[in-house]
Amino acid sequence: MKYMLMMNTPGGGPYQIASWPEQDIKAHIAFMMNFNKKLSAAGELVGAEGLSGPDQAKVVRAGAHGEPITDGVFPESKEFLAGYWIVDVETPERAYAIAAAASAAPGPGGKPLNLAIEVRQVMTGPPTDWTPGT
Amino acid sequence: MTARLDDSAQDLLRDLAPKVLGALLRRYRDFGGCEDAVQEALIAAGLQWPSQGLPDSPMGWLITVATRRLTDQVRADTARRLREQLVVSLIPADEQIARIADAAGVNERDETLDLYFMCCHPALSSASQIALTLRAVGGLTTAEIAQAFLVPEATMAQRLTRAKATIKSAGSTFPELTPADRTFRLPAVLTVLYLVFSEGYTSSGGDQLYRVDLSNEAIRVARLLFELLPDEPEVGGLLALMLLTDARRASRTGPNGELIPLDVQDRANWDRARIAEGTRILERALLRKRAGPYQIQAAIAALHDEADSTETTDWRQILGLYDSLLQFNNGPMVRLSRTIALAMVEGPAAGLSALDAIALDPCSSIRHRIDSARAHLLERAGQHAEAIRYYRQAAQRTTSTPEQNYLLLHAARLSDSFNA
């Protein structure tokens, strides 16, 4: 089963990596690269992407004639999606364990950040034995 | 895991691909159908050659297989292709194949060349031009192209199908190009090859094992074009630019993919053979006295390549070359690069005021580059607090992870020494 692990970071909170000392940034980058390598080597990684910052984000809705109406940007948003992983694992517990490992990524002074990781199962097609009315 | 073709057989296959396609088109005209048939022949070769060995005549083998696939396809598609079926079926299959093989070499050069122009049809988006060029001229499979661009194979297959449908609906048969058409489309062909080359740098992360190296493919295809058009100085200029840039590739990134800027690269690791070859091709192109943007950029790359360090680089000449380049392209990226050269010649203050002029009409795609250049010049001018601010702003604005990491780490290093 596939799960999406979404790393949410507070807009003004502890994930302001730009203000960390060099060695802490280095440790954080190394952790993340190694984390993805290990997931890939375990055959569990489906995909992972980092997203650009909320200061470039726009919210779009269709207008009366289907034209895009954009709103934003939102540099001051309370929380934003910094990136995500999609993993293919045997049990939900394994997905939670992976999320916990990501959450413990090192921050300033090498201390774990304990970021909130939202875990959501990815929807699938119908089961092979599916019949209507059962 | 089934056996794979070794590298030399793979190269042979890809080099033959446009010639086989040219041979088929000479006979059957239908670009979409012929292109599909050649693709199937290439896949068949990839499956059969590793176990059965290379055929005596690889080109003949590919033409035979591709022709069979094409005639099968024509026979199967009776309604829409009734006319072609009649024409094809009048001649026995073996005789058809023999005729095609005999005709090879007559106008081979022009028809291989026209493939490049066909793939860069003005009705196509640049993403489609790139995909089609890699398949028809580069001989890559759809799966390989999809992997190289990190998109699903079905997406790439659809992009290619739509590209061929677009060419067909634009009324293009093959070949119908006049010399004027070729002159008009040559810049588009060069742009596509340069985009493929650059893509090889930007998507160079991830699992490399079975991924086609796009920069090497771009160089290979540019070499083929250069053989076909040795007297076009901009074709030589483009090939030289690729070689002179690629010579620095190994030094450009560290073991974990981190960016290493020009001024601290280990120049002993630059590929001297590539530099020598690029320089030779560039000098030959320059003799024709028809300057163009690729020759000028290649000349700039050559000046970097021949210097021992940033300090001993001939920045004055580089500045002059950027001034010439502005006559062909006065976009913000060229103006920004010129500013860096200006700062190396006249000092950071001159660079900073030139930067202000560019920042007046900021194009969003280069905003972070302007920030990063400003940070660099401020650092050189000793204004560290301001430099840190702009490095961080650039880090926030870039959409490239390695570049973001580089900018963040540079700002942190400066900040650490500033606080110490």
Instruction: Output the pTM of the full model.
Output: 0.83
Question: Does pLDDT of A13 surpass 80?
Answer: no
CB of A30 within 8 Å of a chain B CB? The answer is: yes
* DSSP-derived secondary structure for B233-293: HHHHHHHHHHHHHHTTHHHHB-TTS-B--GGGS-GGGS-HHHHHHHHHHHHHHHTT----H
Question: Does pLDDT of A134 surpass 80?
Answer: no
Contacts of B207 in chain A (CB under 8 A): 40
Predicted confidence (pLDDT) per residue in A67-121, tens digit: 999 987 776 667 888 899 999 999 999 999 999 999 999 999 999 999 899 999 9
Q: Are strands A116-121 and A2-10 parallel, antiparallel or unpaired?
A: antiparallel
**pLDDT more than 90, % of chain A:** 60
Closest approach of A47 to chain B, Cα-based (Å): 11
pLDDT computed for residue B366 by the predictor: 82
Chain A interface mutation, best of B210, B396, B400, B406, highest count of A Cβ atoms under 10 Å = B396
Question: In b/e form, how buried is each residue of B278-302, taking b as 16+ CB within 10 angstroms?
Answer: bbebbeebbeeeebbbbbbbbbbbb
Tally of domains within chain A: 1
Rounded distance between C-alpha atoms, residue B26 and residue A3, angstroms: 52
CB of A80 within 8 Å of a chain B CB? The answer is: no
Triad B99, B100, B102: Cα angle to 5°: 65
Closest-CA residue of chain A to B398: A52
Closest-CA residue of chain B to A29: B405
Q: How far apart are the first and last CA of chain A?
A: 22
Closest-CA residue of chain A to B399: A52
- Inter-chain contact A22–B392, Cβ cutoff 8 Å? no
* DSSP-derived secondary structure for A77-116: -SEEEEEEEEEE-SSHHHHHHHHHHHHT-B-GGG-B---E
* A134 or B325, higher pLDDT: B325
- Inter-chain contact A53–B411, Cβ cutoff 8 Å? no
Contacts of A30 in chain B (CB under 8 A): 256
Rounded distance between C-alpha atoms, residue B381 and residue B370, angstroms: 16
Predicted confidence (pLDDT) per residue in B92-129, tens digit: 555 555 455 444 454 667 777 888 888 988 889 988 99
Domain ranges of chain B: 1-106
- Give me the domain span that covers residue A92: 2-15+24-121
For B261, phi then psi, to 5°, come to -70, 160
Mean pLDDT of the residues in chain A: 88
Looking from the CA of B341 toward its CB, the CA atoms found within 13 Å total: 22
Q: Is the dihedral of CA A37, A40, A45, A49 positive or negative?
A: positive
**Domain assignment of residue A88, yes or no:** yes
A window 40-79, beta carbon within 8 A of B: 40, 50, 52-53, 55-56
pLDDT computed for residue B106 by the predictor: 47
Averages of pLDDT over runs of 10 residues in chain B (420 residues) are 75 90 85 90 91 91 92 70 51 51 57 85 90 91 86 90 88 69 88 89 54 85 92 96 94 84 93 97 96 97 96 97 95 92 96 90 78 95 96 89 91 88
The answer to whether residues B370 and B339 touch, using CB atoms and an 8 Å cutoff, is no
How large is the ipTM? 0.83
Q: Is the dihedral of CA B78, B163, B141, B177 positive or negative?
A: positive
The answer to whether residues A104 and A34 touch, using CB atoms and an 8 Å cutoff, is no
**Looking at the partner chain, which of B396, B409, B412 has a beta carbon nearest the beta carbon of A53?**
B396
pLDDT computed for residue B250 by the predictor: 87
Instruction: Give the CATH number, domain containing residue A7.
Output: 3.30.70.1060
CB of A26 within 8 Å of a chain B CB? The answer is: yes
Rounded distance between C-alpha atoms, residue A126 and residue A128, angstroms: 6
**Domain assignment of residue A134, yes or no:** no
